[in-house]
Amino acid sequence: MNQDAPTNRTQVARLPKRGDYSEATIYSILDAGFLCHVGFVVDGQPFVIPTGYGRLGNTFYLHGSAASRMLRTLAMGVEVCVTVTLLDGLVLARSAFHHSMNYRSVVLFGTATLVESSEEKTTALRAISEQIVPGRWDDVRWPTEQELKATKVLALPISEASAKVRTGPPLDDEEDYSLKVWAGVLPFHVQTGVPLPDPRLPVDVDDVPGYLLDYGKRPI
Amino acid sequence: MNQDAPTNRTQVARLPKRGDYSEATIYSILDAGFLCHVGFVVDGQPFVIPTGYGRLGNTFYLHGSAASRMLRTLAMGVEVCVTVTLLDGLVLARSAFHHSMNYRSVVLFGTATLVESSEEKTTALRAISEQIVPGRWDDVRWPTEQELKATKVLALPISEASAKVRTGPPLDDEEDYSLKVWAGVLPFHVQTGVPLPDPRLPVDVDDVPGYLLDYGKRPI
């Protein structure tokens, strides 16, 4: 990243003390997630679409079908806003008014460019795969030239971004602290269940890979 | 809802067989979540902001500080796109190309209106609170007139929406089924941790409410 101060559009408007523009914070939040919400505009109409992503250095990669309306629109170089949100807990105050959430989020602005070379496309797809399931890429059949042609990959520079973070207990009005209301934080985390084998898995392929069994132990 | 067919903007563009325009599906997804991503446009620039919500009948409620840029913008009646995404699992195919996710999502379009009356505001805030933590509202101090004035509530009719759902195992190319690659689904669900009491909780308020202990047992 080549910024360390907010721009007009990354300046955190509400509760600016929760804003953070450091590369370390922004990268750590992006690296802890893999699902983003992509905002773009078509004829004045906003669209918000959820999709997976990968970060590699200073580049944020998106991918999808070459037929995807979202990717075809972004490839035209329109303004995009990508938001990554990690929910860490519900903040339960004594008053309804002071309820909140603990979270880490990143908002990223810019314009994306189409990745053309098969080599960079493969590198990007690997980054997205590793972001979602570390360890998976080396186990699977890699994309053929035909599959690469059917896939659009977009690169968005991480050059104009902001993070917003809330942590800690509720902050109540002073006179409410004496109320007999339980207050605190209900922590949230993503839990993975028992891996469900594909019904068509051959009988001799019954070992669930370690990276799936250990998935929930990843730092988030 | 007064629709049961897609409009130009709700028509699911990619993989239309995953699209669903029924009220039952859309409401059930909205009711299972509480966090949405709100997309809006300011001077041609898209913004995507995460926030809590509540559904009451045919109305989708958002709230926040009266000073919020997002709420002030939406209150002007601009076009908005709200997306709710529930991630149910990672779909692990034999080929990198056919990896996917199981999810339920809703995309909702329209324009929001400001809720003016204290009565409807309180009803909406209660709906949002109950959507996030069912049972909490009756335990806490309710908003004062002054707090209601400091809070903006927006109502968005649920009249133009689409759901998109993927379930089930991976779908690989026929010739890949014989590969010795574990394939299947890694289920995801949200897990709550042990509630963390506020350090300033009086010693005689030590009972964690049942609705927090049972939170993870809610159907999602």
The Cβ of residue A25 has, within 10 Å, a number of other Cβ atoms equal to: 18
Residue A220 maps to a domain: no
Q: In what order do the strands lie in the sheet with A151-157?
A: A54-56, A59-65, A151-157, A113-114
φ and ψ at residue B53, rounded to 5 degrees? -150, 170
Q: Where are the alpha helices (DSSP H) in chain B?
A: 23-32, 69-75, 118-132, 145-149, 210-213
Helices (H) and strands (E) in chain A, counts: 5, 12
Residue A24 carries which side chain, given as an amino acid letter?
Answer: A
Q: What is the mean pLDDT of chain A?
A: 93
Query: Binning pLDDT at 50, 70 and 90, where does residue A4 land?
Result: low
pLDDT value of residue A11: 79
In percent, how much of chain B has pLDDT > 90?
85
pLDDT value of residue B71: 96
Residue A25 maps to a domain: yes
Instruction: Count structural domains, chain A.
Output: 1
Residue A199 maps to a domain: no
Question: Hey, is the C-beta of A92 within 8 angstroms of any chain B C-beta?
Answer: yes
- Best residue in A87, A97, A166 to probe B by mutation, most B CBs within 10 Å? A97
Partner-chain residue, chosen from B96, B109, B186, that has the shortest CB–CB distance to A143: B96
**8 Å CB contact of A50 and B97:** no
Q: How far is CA B42 from CA A171, B73, B76, B80, in A?
A: 32, 8, 11, 11
Lowest-confidence segment of A57-66, B13-22, B41-50, B64-73 by average pLDDT: B13-22
Looking at residues B57-63, what average pLDDT do you find?
Answer: 97
- Best residue in A8, A141, A156, A175 to probe B by mutation, most B CBs within 10 Å? A141
CATH number for the domain spanning A60: value is 2.30.110.10
Q: How many CA atoms lie within 13 A of B49 on its CB side?
A: 22
User: What range defines the domain where residue A79 resides?
Assistant: 16-88+101-167
Does B55 or B9 have the greater pLDDT score?
Answer: B55
**Which tokens belong to A152?**
């659009």
Residue A192 carries which side chain, given as an amino acid letter?
Answer: T
Lowest-confidence segment of A10-24, A75-89, A142-156, B141-155 by average pLDDT: A10-24
φ and ψ at residue B210, rounded to 5 degrees? -60, -35
Looking at residues A108-132, what average pLDDT do you find?
Answer: 97
Query: Binning pLDDT at 50, 70 and 90, where does residue A3 land?
Result: low
Query: Binning pLDDT at 50, 70 and 90, where does residue A8 land?
Result: confident
Residue A57 maps to a domain: yes
Q: How far apart are CA B92 and CA B186, in angstroms?
A: 8
Looking at residues A168-174, what average pLDDT do you find?
Answer: 98
0.90 exceeded by the pTM? yes
Among candidate residues B204, B198, B203, B127, the one with its CA nearest the CA of residue A92:
B198
Looking at residues A22-50, what average pLDDT do you find?
Answer: 96
Residue A177 maps to a domain: no
pLDDT tens for B130-181 read: 999 999 999 999 999 999 999 999 999 999 999 999 999 999 999 999 999 9
Residue B148 maps to a domain: yes
Looking at residues A138-157, what average pLDDT do you find?
Answer: 97
User: Which of residues 136 through 155 in chain B touch A, CB cutoff 8 A?
Assistant: 136-137, 139-144, 147, 150-151
- Spell out the residues 6+ positions from residue B128 whose beta carbon is closer than 8 angstroms to its own: B52, B53, B54, B61, B63
- Nearest residue on chain B to A110, alpha-carbon basis: B45
Q: What is the mean pLDDT of chain B?
A: 93
User: Which of residues 109 through 128 in chain A touch B, CB cutoff 8 A?
Assistant: 109, 125
Site of tokens 């009565």:
B119
pLDDT tens for B188-205 read: 988 899 999 999 999 899
pLDDT tens for A37-95 read: 999 999 999 999 999 999 999 999 999 999 999 999 999 999 999 999 999 999 999 99
Give, in degrees to the nearest 5, the angle at Cα B109 between B105 and B114.
120
pLDDT value of residue B15: 74
Give, in degrees to the nearest 5, the angle at Cα A164 between A112 and A44.
45
What ipTM was assigned to the predicted interfaces of this complex? 0.94
pLDDT value of residue B186: 97
Q: How far is CA A11 from CA A14, A112, B152, in A?
A: 9, 21, 21
Tell me the shortest Cα–Cα distance from A105 to chain B, in angstroms.
8
**Which tokens belong to A3?**
């910024």
Per-residue pLDDT for B54 more than 70?
A: yes
pLDDT tens for B91-144 read: 999 999 999 999 999 999 999 999 999 999 999 999 999 999 999 999 999 999
Please give the interface size between A and B, counted as residue pairs whose CB atoms are below 8 Å apart: 276
**Contact A109/A10 with Cβ under 8 angstroms?**
yes
Residue B30 maps to a domain: yes
Residue B66 maps to a domain: yes
Helix, strand, coil tally for chain A in percent (to 5): 25, 35, 40
Does A3 or B44 have the greater pLDDT score?
Answer: B44
